[in-house]
Amino acid sequence: MQDNGAASGRLMRGAVSFVTLGCAKNEVDTRDMKGRLRKAGFQVEAAPDSADAIVVNTCSFIQAATEESIEAVLDVAELDGVASGEVPLIVAGCMPARYGEELTHELSEVRAFVPCSREDDIVAVVEAALGERAGRGAPEEERTPQVPFAYVKIADGCDRFCSYCTIPFIRGRYRSFPYEEVRDEVAARAADGAREVVLIAQDTGRYGRDLAEPSTLAQLLERLAQEFPTLWFRVMYLQPEGITDELLDTVAAHANLCSYFDIPLQHIDPLILRAMNRSGSPEELMALLKRIEERVADVTLRTTLLCGFPGETEEQFEALCDFVEEAPFDYIGVFAYSREEGTAAYDLPEQLDEEVKAERAQRLRDLADAVCSARISRRIGRSMAVLVEGREEDGQLYGRAQCQAPEVDGVTYVDEGEPGGVVSVSIIDTLLYEMEGERS
Ligand code: SF4
């Protein structure tokens, strides 16, 4: 009798389990690797303790993320199957891209390393790791996502070389994906059940310049908004230089383009910005925010700030706090500077003590919470469409309005609707970053 693996509860080609660390871009990479394996006949949703192979997709953009990734790899290495050598452990993503050969000596438990640039070869890597156990099988059916949003990458890599950042070394130069590729990916995610598509890249505003037929983010959005009128589109990681009037007017012109701008400013002090290999001044950056508010009605603004950069004085930090008090941000992510080997900022003098960096980050977070929650409470009384995402354990329905990005901005609790549907609500209350809506 032919052994198709059913006796062991496994599909013919074997079951692969994924552990994913880091940001949304890494989640997209995991989804792509799963898609390739699924097409090749593997089952890709196995739990680690019942898998034939385990892939840990790592994050390594700062030291803390590297440590977390190593811990995850070591946890997986302790599983019986991996420890006995029966189940191959494969480490993918940013950590092998950043540390390369070094890792083979440090993590001898790992069967294969797959840096970001080689993730397209994941099928061959898993096949080689499994050896003869990976027979031929039929492709597994696509799975419907459990949440009605999906991330779609429009580019990879970065040319900016901010002096504190490892990403350009890990991910390589900026490469936009042609419109057809983005459109096909959006269509696939919509077919899976996504109602909102979040477009991501390291630097979304730079989209299109490097294509054979140059394009812009605004042109990409215009085409997507028209081609998929029932989907919401949201753009994350827009560097200030990428915000053109063409982009603002395009977003303002389409109801299905979320009036939401995520602009990582990092700092506002001109000297610190220059040392970061970035540019701008408080006046220029405030003018940019005002311009966005003027051109796009009911706009939501998010930023990311980095404090404790080498040489940052108490006065420069306080100027950043003053800016936060005045600027019209709804959401602010705050990070303490992390000194990363291989970056230009690593060698800068006047590195600050860890306690000073942590204390400034906490002060800035507390301030951001106070300022942003006050802004969010002003939404009470406004009508909004909410994309229902699911139910809490106690049955309470929740979702997100266009002013809330997935996974970072909190949710809106609603009293009616079905997961995957859109309901119109009136906001009746807010609590810090959460909102409560009543069917209107
Ligand atoms: S824009 Fe700057 S911070 Fe962002 S990925 Fe590129 S180099 Fe890093």
Q: For the chain, what are the domain ranges? A: 8-133, 149-377, 383-439
Rounded to whole angstroms, what are the CA distances from 332 to 294, 326, 341, 372?
21, 13, 27, 8
- Rounded to whole angstroms, the Cα distance separating 126 from 140 reads 16
pLDDT digits (tens, 9 = 90+) for 69-92: 999 999 999 998 898 888 999 999
Q: For the chain, how big is the Rg over CA atoms in Å?
A: 23
423 has which bridge partners?
386
- The Cα angle at residue 163 between residues 159 and 167, in degrees rounded to 5: 50
Return the best residue to mutate from 165, 173, 243, 304 for the ligand 1 pocket (most ligand atoms within 8 A of CB).
165
Task: Please name which of 44, 110, 108, 99 lies closest in space to residue 67, comparing C-alpha atoms.
Answer: 99
Q: 416: which DSSP letter?
A: S
How remote is the CA of residue 266 from the centroid of ligand 1, in Å?
10
Q: How many C-alpha atoms does 118 have within 13 Å on its Cβ side?
A: 16
426 has which bridge partners?
383, 438
Which residues, judged by CB distance below 6 Å to any ligand atom, belong to the binding site of ligand 1? 158, 160-162, 165, 167-168, 202-203, 239
At 5, give phi and psi (nearest 5°): 85, -5
Return the best residue to mutate from 98, 203, 272 for the ligand 1 pocket (most ligand atoms within 8 A of CB).
203
The kind and range of the H/E element at 57 are strand 53-58
Task: Please name which of 64, 56, 51 lies closest in space to residue 14, comparing C-alpha atoms.
Answer: 51
Q: 175: which DSSP letter?
A: E
- pLDDT at position 131 is 78
At 165, give phi and psi (nearest 5°): -110, 140
CB neighbours of residue 154 within 10 Å: 24
Nearest CA to ligand 1 atom 8: 165
* CATH superfamily label, 383-439: Nucleic acid-binding proteins (2.40.50.140)
What is the fold of 149-377? pyruvate-formate lyase- activating enzyme (3.80.30)
Atom index in ligand 1 nearest the CA of residue 277 equals 2
How remote is the CA of residue 362 from the centroid of ligand 1, in Å?
23
How remote is the CA of residue 24 from the centroid of ligand 1, in Å?
15
SS3 (DSSP) at 174: coil
Q: 206: which DSSP letter?
A: G
How remote is the CA of residue 231 from the centroid of ligand 1, in Å?
28
> Which residues, 6 or more positions from 136, have their beta carbon under 8 angstroms from its beta carbon?
12, 13, 41
- The residue type at 408: V
Architecture of domain 8-133: 3-Layer(aba) Sandwich (3.40)
- pLDDT at position 12 is 55
- Rounded to whole angstroms, the Cα distance separating 389 from 419 reads 5
The terminus-to-terminus CA distance of the chain in angstroms comes to 62
Atom index in ligand 1 nearest the CA of residue 168 equals 7
Task: Please name which of 139, 174, 128 lies closest in space to residue 154, comparing C-alpha atoms.
Answer: 174
- Parts of the chain with a pLDDT under 70: 1-12, 132-146
- Rounded to whole angstroms, the Cα distance separating 106 from 93 reads 17
Nearest CA to ligand 1 atom 4: 202
How remote is the CA of residue 161 from the centroid of ligand 1, in Å?
6
How remote is the CA of residue 272 from the centroid of ligand 1, in Å?
15
Task: Please name which of 93, 178, 87 lies closest in space to residue 133, comparing C-alpha atoms.
Answer: 87
Nearest CA to ligand 1 atom 2: 162
Atom index in ligand 1 nearest the CA of residue 158 equals 6
Six-digit token pair at 321?
């706090």
CB 168 within 8 A of CB 161: yes
The kind and range of the H/E element at 267 are none
Strand duo 155-156 + 300-307: pairing:
unpaired
How remote is the CA of residue 298 from the centroid of ligand 1, in Å?
28
E-state strands within 249-347: 260-262, 300-307, 331-336
- Residue 92 Cα to chain centre, angstroms: 17
Strand duo 383-391 + 331-336: pairing:
unpaired
How remote is the CA of residue 157 from the centroid of ligand 1, in Å?
9
- Rounded to whole angstroms, the Cα distance separating 213 from 226 reads 20
Q: Is 220 exposed, middle or buried (0-12, 13-18, 19+ CB in 10 A)?
A: buried
Six-digit token pair at 419?
């997961």
198 has which bridge partners?
151, 234
